[in-house]
Amino acid sequence: MAIKRVIVMVQENHTTDNYFRALAPYGANVATDWPVQANPPASDQPHDRHAYYAWLTGQHKATRTQFDTEKVLPFYEYLALTGAFLENHCSGFGTNSTPNHLLIVGGQTPTLRNPSRTQPPPLWDMPSVPGLAQDAGIGWRCYTGSGNYPVGFYTQLSGSPNLVANAQFIKDAAAGTLPALCYLWHDSPEDEHPVADVTVGMNKIWESVDAVVQSGGWDETVFLLTWDDWGGWDDHVATPNVEHTPDGVQLAYGPRVPLLMFGGTVKARIDSRWSTHAGIPKTVMQLLGLPKLGVDRVDNDPGLSDLVDSSLHNPTPPAYGTKVTLPAPPQPAPKPQPLPAPPEAPSSPVGPVILRGGGTLPPPNDVPLKTGNP
């Protein structure tokens, strides 16, 4: 069956080790011996660019705890085991929320921090995948939280009637009126941002997926579910340095964060390739037949469309609120795959931000760390 729809779901602030320790018996490369994290967590850890640099250089110990996946996140574990689990997916940049959300939407960001909430929101005329779909005559809708975050920062998208409240997603899914491209964000506590109960956010994702399934859209939809950034949680894998800021500090890849790709036609596997948030818009473009975006970080990414096989007909996931039965671990337990080789090219300076009219903005460098040369 041909893919008619791609749904990108973005949650908040967790690393691969922090969420998916239960995948170790299935061969995933995850830590298994860290303390179990209480749910909900008691605090939100520092996780901005300064905290990332301190963690990267060993000056700061990130929170090294893990949620009990099977107990508090069983639907996520089911999706990881029956779809594609990208175990070496990385946040696009080593910093906090807004830059990584922008990378998921359009592959670039003019800022390395969250904009001030006391000032008018910024507006940048950058290309985006929803805008690319619009220009190609393909239907799209962004189901956002308060303030149309983050797509309200795009000149082409700001004020569009296609920016709607996230509560509308389940209604549209049930009615069978979802467009070809959907992005979905949630507000706290449904976004899993500490100090939220992570099961609340998982249940909202489960309810949203189930609404698509119940309307008959499972086989024609590819879902991409990820988390924006590391959130100050530790992860044991050191990611390759492929881009750096003018002060010489690694920018990309950021720390590992989960990416689950699933649907009726998605190959079930633990996939060990390096991937980043820039690959999410590229995968959308591949699956929907969109032209180039004009952003090298996206256009040159290999994407993940090879994980889709239109001849497959995967079973639908458990109905919302029902018992989740997980596949039994293989015996003997497989060993994790070795880390793939890092890119051969040396780390390059982050480039300027490309605008829709052909102009540029300076490379993102608004959190200088003063560390010298790379």
Q: Are strands 250-252 and 243-244 parallel, antiparallel or unpaired?
A: antiparallel
- Residue 371: per-residue pLDDT: 59
Contact 235, 256 (CB under 8 A): yes
- Residue 118: per-residue pLDDT: 85
Report CA torsion sign: 94, 98, 104, 105. negative
* CB burial readout 40-60, b (16+ within 10 A) else e: ebeeebebbbebbbebbeeee
Q: Are strands 353-354 and 269-276 parallel, antiparallel or unpaired?
A: unpaired
Distance CA 177, CA 348 (A): 43
- Residue 54: per-residue pLDDT: 95
- Residue 146: per-residue pLDDT: 85
SS3 annotation, 244-301: ECCCCCEEECCCECCEEEECCCECCEEEEEEEECCHHHHHHHHHHCCCCCCCHHHHCC
- Residue 160: per-residue pLDDT: 98
User: Could you tell me which residues come within 8 angstroms of residue 146 by beta carbon, excluding any fewer than 6 positions away?
Assistant: 187
- CA 346, distance to chain mean position in Å, is 25
Residue 81 parent element (H or E): helix 74-82
- Paired with 182 in beta bridges are 7, 141
Which top CATH class is 5-361?
Answer: alpha beta
- Residue 173: per-residue pLDDT: 98
- Residue 323: per-residue pLDDT: 96
Low-confidence residues of the chain, pLDDT below 50?
372-374
Token digits for 333?
């337990």
- Residue 211: per-residue pLDDT: 98
Q: Are strands 140-144 and 353-354 parallel, antiparallel or unpaired?
A: unpaired
Q: What residue type is 184 in one-letter code?
A: L
